Structure 1
Amino acid sequence: MDIKKKRWTHLGLGAALMTTTALAGCGEPAAKDTPPAEQPAADTATPDAAATEAEVEAKLDAVNAPAAASGEGEGGVAIEAALTDPVVYNIALTVAEAHVLAARDAYRDGETQAAGEMFAHPVSEVLFDMEPVFEARGVADFTDQFLDASAAVFAGESVEEINARTAKIVATLRKASEKAPDDGSSPAAITTGVVADMIDRSTKMYRLSTESDFYEPYLDGYGFYTAAKDQFDSEEEAIAVENPDAAEAIRGALSLLGEAYPTAARPDTLDADVSALTVAASEVFLTVGD
């Protein structure tokens, strides 16, 4: 699927939460951490709790299913297109970056289990599928950094040490970005496409978060928002010059997402306006162009 199709599919179907680009769901949903004494054993879960988990899994699967049919990896990235399209290539890297940023902040906010899992998820969700693309682009394998960071979380390293590991991973991903295929697109245009995709993913994850108490969709969405903000901040001036409408739309969407995702730890109440988020995400895609 080429990037034009991906962009307009997002725009036309985003409001209905049905898209040919999958979200980067991370497998089985995890409920927000609670003290061990309050957690029922797995074999004593109530029927209602089991049903809720099944419903969330089904919704994540429903969103991810079209990707497999269109040749995309589990993380919702068109792997074959990544060989020639710099936006798709960088989306794959930014999906991985979103996960480690979410993991870093979740660890800081006391969500140890989720942080450890989030550091490891990109390896199976996107990096494994991207391996032949990286090989073709001359990018050496760097998955050990994600797995080492995950192990370090469970080993109880300090927040400062985890922050340092995260910074190293992000630097590695940015270095890999330099090996993206060249189709003549400017760095500003590429970043605009990546940011639009991250905003769309974050918005959809927030919608899913409002439908259950599970932590995973919220943390995924927080990561996509954080990655979108970081990427936009790095190219905001150039984007504003090249595509001022996109810059304005992105600022508006990020402002709303910042209110929806105030912290990596899921708030007790999710009260952001999902319709406003969806409209804002669609407005960003309208400015991206072909």
Structure 2
Amino acid sequence: MGKRNKLWKSISVIGLAGAAGMSLSACTEEENEGEAAVAPIETSVDAVALAGEGEGEGEVISAGEGEGEGAAATELTSDDLAYLTHLSLIKGHLYVGAELYKAGHIEHAKTHMKHPESELYADLVPALEARGTAGFAKELTAVSDAVNEEKGVEAVQTALDTLLAAIDTNAMAVSETSATPAEKLKLVVQLLRTAADEYAIAVVDGKMENAHEYQDAFGFTTIATDLVEGIESDESAVTDAKAATLAILADVKPHWPGLIPPETLKTEAGALYGAAAQIELLALGL
């Protein structure tokens, strides 16, 4: 699938600083323009957002189709960054699905909570086995069942907490060097680039075309922010990079005025690509 290939072009080892600089200069003007134009927009009725999902159901109804399925099993097995990105994308879907459920948007939530047999998890299985981890199929099923059977917020949250703990355990199956602040920022870059790809599908010429992708992008960016907030270090270079990254992520928050998107948006994917380029430079500086 073309979208699958496009999205996973971004899941790769960080490029040269010169390339990042070019990307940054190309996106900075677009980022500023998009953010300056954004204005508070009230959430539209569900019918508008569901229309976007209707379009996505033919392409992206499986949780995260495109965000990871294109990565070969060998890549997920041998490349820690690709592996951690894949796990983080799953977390992004789970986060936005849970938030939608809590807000009463049950049908929206169901599109983000898929059975572990779906491609996003299935493609991960060979890497989990190769890395000697137990996986989290049972926990993922429990969350999916809690949402799809509408068992209630408490049941969904309990199942989600158990699942997130299992994902974190599986995320430990990487080298020590993959846990450094620089590597964590590289992971943030991958999540933002994927979010930008999704947002470009969601918002076309200022119009909301796909609610599911809009929500995916929100989930991925939220997980990226959580990753940065979790960075701990006494080194001034790291603390400075962390603060700068959080500021960059705060600047793109207006891209999501609500869980259910409005009919129109003045924000664009370019600002997200620009944010990723800026954070890439910060990662390269550590």
Number of the residue aligned with 2:3: none
Residue 205 of structure 1 aligns with which residue? 198
Distance 2:267 2:210 in 1: 17
> What does residue 219 of structure 1 align with?
215
**Cα gap change, 1:233 to 1:194, in 2 (>3 Å):** same
TM-score (norm 2): 0.71
Map 1:160-171 → 2, pairs under 5 A: 160-171=154-165
CA–CA distance in 1 between the matches of 2:76 and 2:153? 34
Aligned twin of 2:258: 263
Aligned to 2:92: 98
The 1:57–1:130 alpha-carbon spacing in structure 2 relative to 1, beyond 3 Å, is closer
CA contact (8 A) 1:115 1:153 kept: yes
Q: Which residue of the other structure, out of 113, 134, 150, is the alignment partner of 2:107?
A: 113
What 5-or-longer segments of structure 2 have no aligned partner? Answer: 1-7, 28-44
Q: Distance in 2 between matches of 1:273 and 1:239?
A: 36
Q: CA deviation at 1:186?
A: 4.0
Instruction: Say if 2:184 is the partner of 1:191.
Output: yes
| Paired position in structure 1 for 2:4 | none
Rounded Cα–Cα distance in structure 2 between residues aligned with 1:81 and 1:142: 20
1:202 touches 1:225 (CA, 8 Å); kept in 2? yes
Query: 1:148 corresponds to which residue?
Result: 142
- Closer/same/farther in 2, CA of residues 126 and 156 from structure 1, 3 Å limit: closer
- The two structures have a TM-score, normalised by structure 1, of 0.71
Q: Does 243-252 or 154-163 show the bigger shift? A: 243-252
Aligned length: 247
Query: 2-side partners of 1:109 and 1:204: how far apart?
Result: 26
Shift of 1:239: 9.1
Give the 3 Å change call, closer, same or farther, for CA 262–77 of structure 1 in structure 2: farther
> Deviation of residue 89 (structure 1)?
1.7
- Please state how far the C-alpha of 1:188 moved relative to its aligned partner: 2.0
Per the TM alignment, residue 241 of structure 1 is displaced from its structure 2 partner at its CA by 4.2
Task: Pick closer, same or farther for the CA change 1:163–1:5 going to 2, 3 Å.
Answer: closer
Measured at CA, do residues 202 and 175 of structure 1 come closer, stay the same or move farther in structure 2, by a change above 3 Å? Answer: same
Compared CA separation, residues 203 and 238, structure 1 to 2 (3 A): farther
Indicate how the Cα distance of structure 1 residues 261 and 88 shifts in structure 2: closer, same or farther if over 3 A, else same. Answer: same
State the distance in 2 between where 1:177 and 1:193 align. 15
The CA RMSD measured in Å over matched residues stands at 3.7
C-alpha deviation, 1:220, in angstroms: 0.7
Go from structure 1 to structure 2 and tell me whether the alpha carbon gap of 1:157 and 1:184 turns closer, same or farther (over 3 Å shift).
same
Pick from 263, 267, 273: which aligns with 1:272? 267
The SS at the match of 2:230 is helix
1:126-166 Cα offsets, whole Å, 9 max, x none, are 32112111111111132232233222212222222212222
Aligned to 1:70: none
- Cα offset for 1:3? 9.4
State the identity %: 24
Amino acid at match of 1:233: E
Q: Please tell me the residue identity of whatever aligns with 1:99.
A: H
1:188/1:242 contact within 8 Å kept? no
